[in-house]
Amino acid sequence: MTGKLTEYQMDQLEAFIGSGPKVFRLLYSITRDGCTATEFHRKCDNQGPTVTVLYNPHGSVYGGYAGVSWQSSVGFHTEDKTAFIFQLMNSGKRAVNIFRPKDASKAIYCNSNDSSNFGYPDFKAFSNTVPLNNDGTFSLNGSISLGHFYHNNNVSNKDINNGSMVVTEMEVYAVFDYPRKSTDTHRTWRKTPALTDEYISKLKEELASITPPKGSGITDFQLLLVGPVGAGKSSFINTAMSPFADRIMHKAAVGTSSQSVTRKYITYPVRKSGGSCLNLRLCDTPGIGDHSGLDALNINFLLDGHVPSSFEFSCSRHISAKTPGFVHRPSLAEEAHCVAIVLDSSTIRDIPAVTMTLLNDLKNLALEKGIPLAIIMTKIDKLHEEIADNLADVFKRPEVKTAVDQVSEAFGIPPNHVFPVKNYHSEMETEIAVHGLALLALRKMLFIASDALEERTSANEERQEATADVTESDTA
């Protein structure tokens, strides 16, 4: 058993301890060894520095570091100037806090009837024996009450443990001075500014200022999203809208089904919180699958702008010139200006061969028409459990780079046209990193769409000038 503590959490604790690289070796786990003070002392006494970590059902992770050994005794305080209480996660979100002693002489409390005990009464995990609950949790009889011998940094106790000592696991690790791993895994493979509030605001302003090229006759970029059933096209649309609305949006219908939730071709404007819209529309399509009705013929009509808004696809019929609302002579404004293939990054290797064939046909068809392509890789948090906890560091994760490279090679698209994102799914509040990844993808789509339209507009102008010259010459 290796324990639940992740590499990134170990990195954070290593930084808190602050005396060089560390190795964390699991000594004790209540799910493995039983939740008893006797077993705690048998495995953890006289082990030198240790980290105690608690995990609760709400997704919070917290604990304490002792720089001196735990001891069995009648009960006494031990001085430890290096000790601290910490918080790593709160309700499933990263929340990093360190609480140092304000009286180091009372930092550690050793008692044969207690497990890890910091400050007493600041933070005690449990005493004596705690039984396993029917749901697999433990209702620890300890408590968190910062502010006695440890600083509370104006963080309330309930914001650390959700107001409950119920946990799914408690672990104690021995801490050794030794390099834990190579720093190569932290090398940034795509350089972008840090995903901060300031950078998100800059991205929003930049996107709001982008307009179609002059002379194109276009007011809104048409950004077409296609992909397999369940890849997250509609969720991406909602996620991309959210930074501009300053809340999580729910415009596009989403759900889980073996068949596509989206049945119609719908174009969505992106509206700012003040009411005005950006110069773009996100065009949603049914997921490509056995029953979606989105095949090569219908995709060709979509790219060329023949499909009317709100058209409902069916596997039993194709769109044709006789279809009500069919756009017979679509203008450049009605055509697709960029195509984003949306893929579930956690199931890239499992895409059916028939779907891959259709997606590659779509790619070739778009390129023939001069329509640029991007790929949006959703659900990157499923590639590794640490990614969800540290979404802002996604461009350091080798698992994400591997997935980007695989997709780039499979579709023959440059890696800088492949964008990892995480859509809003279970979140109740917006997150900066989620915003940032979606906006980076959206900006790339607008840039390549604008470049292609400029080229196309320039070519049209040259043809018109050439025609005018010929006409003038004939007249003369």
Distance between alpha carbon 406 and the CA centroid of its chain, in Å? 19
Is 149 contained in some domain?
A: yes
Same domain, 248 and 109: no
How far apart CA 336 and CA 327 sit, in angstroms, is 14
Is 214 contained in some domain?
A: yes
Per the structure, the complete domain to which residue 40 belongs is given by 7-181
Same domain, 347 and 418: yes
Same domain, 13 and 29: yes
Q: Count the domains in the chain.
A: 2
**Do the bridges between strand 418-420 and strand 373-378 make them parallel or antiparallel, or are there none, so unpaired?**
parallel
How far apart CA 336 and CA 363 sit, in angstroms, is 13
The three-state secondary structure class of 220 is: coil
CA 308, 311, 313, 314: dihedral to nearest 10 degrees? -120
Q: Token pair of 48, please?
A: 């030198």
Same domain, 325 and 396: yes
Last residue of a domain, one of 181, 198, 217: 181
Distances (CA, A) of 148 to 106, 119, 129, 234: 10, 7, 26, 50
CATH number at residue 330: 3.40.50.300
Same domain, 241 and 160: no
Last residue of a domain, one of 181, 202, 234: 181
Same domain, 127 and 264: no
Is 475 contained in some domain?
A: no
Is 476 contained in some domain?
A: no
Q: Where do runs of H (alpha helix) occur along 250-352? A: 296-304
How far apart CA 120 and CA 122 sit, in angstroms, is 5
What tens digit of pLDDT does each residue of 239-296 get? 999 999 999 999 987 765 545 566 789 999 999 988 899 999 999 998 887 566 788 8
Q: What is the per-residue pLDDT for 182?
A: 46
Same domain, 328 and 291: yes
How far apart CA 68 and CA 48 sit, in angstroms, is 5
Report the candidate in 187, 11, 182, 199 with the shortest Cα–Cα distance to residue 96.
11
Cβ proximity of 391 and 422 under 8 Å? yes
Average pLDDT for consecutive 10-residue bins of the chain (476 residues)?
A: 82 91 95 97 97 95 97 91 95 88 97 96 97 96 97 96 97 89 64 90 96 92 94 95 94 66 85 91 87 80 91 80 91 95 90 90 94 96 81 88 90 94 91 95 97 83 55 52
Integer distance in angstroms from the first to the last C-alpha of the chain?
Answer: 90
Same domain, 227 and 204: yes
The DSSP annotation for 20-35 comes to S-EEEEEEEEHHHH-S
Report the candidate in 224, 211, 209 with the shortest Cα–Cα distance to residue 457.
211
Q: What is the pTM of this model?
A: 0.62
Same domain, 326 and 383: yes
Structure letter (DSSP) for residue 53:
E
Is 2 contained in some domain?
A: no
How far apart CA 107 and CA 319 sit, in angstroms, is 74
Contacts of 367 by beta carbon, 8 Å cutoff, 6+ apart: 373
Phi, psi torsion values for 415, nearest 5 degrees? -60, -30
Cβ proximity of 155 and 97 under 8 Å? yes
The three-state secondary structure class of 395 is: helix
Q: Nearest 5 degrees, angle CA 102-CA 104-CA 106?
A: 100
Residue 190 burial (10 A CB sphere; 0-12, 13-18, 19+):
middle
Is 1 contained in some domain?
A: no
How far apart CA 85 and CA 51 sit, in angstroms, is 10
Same domain, 439 and 399: yes
Same domain, 455 and 395: yes
Last residue of a domain, one of 116, 147, 181: 181
Q: What is the per-residue pLDDT for 294?
A: 80
Cβ proximity of 112 and 139 under 8 Å? no
Cβ proximity of 245 and 273 under 8 Å? yes
Same domain, 424 and 283: yes
Cβ proximity of 436 and 200 under 8 Å? yes
Q: What is the per-residue pLDDT for 273?
A: 84
Is 168 contained in some domain?
A: yes
Distances (CA, A) of 156 to 46, 145, 256: 33, 9, 38
